[in-house]
Amino acid sequence: MVEIERKYLVNGLGYRKEARAHIRIVQAFLSTDPDRTIRVRCTGPHGFLTIKGRTCDKGTTRREWEYEIPLKDAEEMLALCVTPPIEKIRYQVEFGLHTFEVDEFTGLNQGLTLAEVELESADEVIEKPSWLGQEVTGDIRYYNSQLSLKPYTTWND
């Protein structure tokens, strides 16, 4: 499938009280090549393997294939990954017609919070909650694969 999404920085913690659920995610990458990233993810009792292709259309559109795999497999594969695991708490927030996934990173990416929203089409209009900050769609530094390699707390700017 083709994934169309936009990514934003987040201001404050206002999203927390609007969230209908949150879950802990641990993930790492078997490959961080931006043209074919391969992600292993443990989300509660579920394991997933996700392949993401090249980004096109100004970073909005990306090929993606995701398969659920046994949690045990995913846990074992984390140890095989080329990057250290990233941990984050993901909040699901409904706003207007969309669901925002707000990721609070921990560990070496502590202090970074990102919101993502998935769209039906690249030109879809989004109603923006007040806590939504600057758009960073297509900025490779905010890819989770790159946050593994160069965590937020090591950025100098």
Q: In angstroms, what is the minimal distance from the CB of 80 to a copy of itself?
A: 5
Please say which residue, 65 or 155, places its beta carbon nearer to a copy of itself.
65
**Which string of b and e fits 98-133 if b means at least 16 CB within 10 Å?**
bebbbbbbeebbeebbbbbbebeeeeeebebbebbe
CB of 99 to a copy of itself, least distance (A): 25
Q: Which of 34-54 are b and which e, b meaning 16 or more Cβ less than 10 Å from the residue's Cβ?
A: eeebbbbbbbeeebbbbebbe
Q: Which is nearer to a copy of itself, 31 or 92 (CB)?
A: 31
Chain residues that interact with a copy of itself, rule: CB under 8 A: 30-31, 33, 35-36, 38, 49, 51, 53-54, 63, 65, 67, 69, 73, 76-77, 80-82
Task: Report the nearest approach of a copy of itself to the CB of residue 6 (Å).
Answer: 23
Smallest gap from residue 43 Cβ to a copy of itself (A) = 17
Taking the least distance from each CB to a copy of itself, the nearer of 38 and 93 is 38
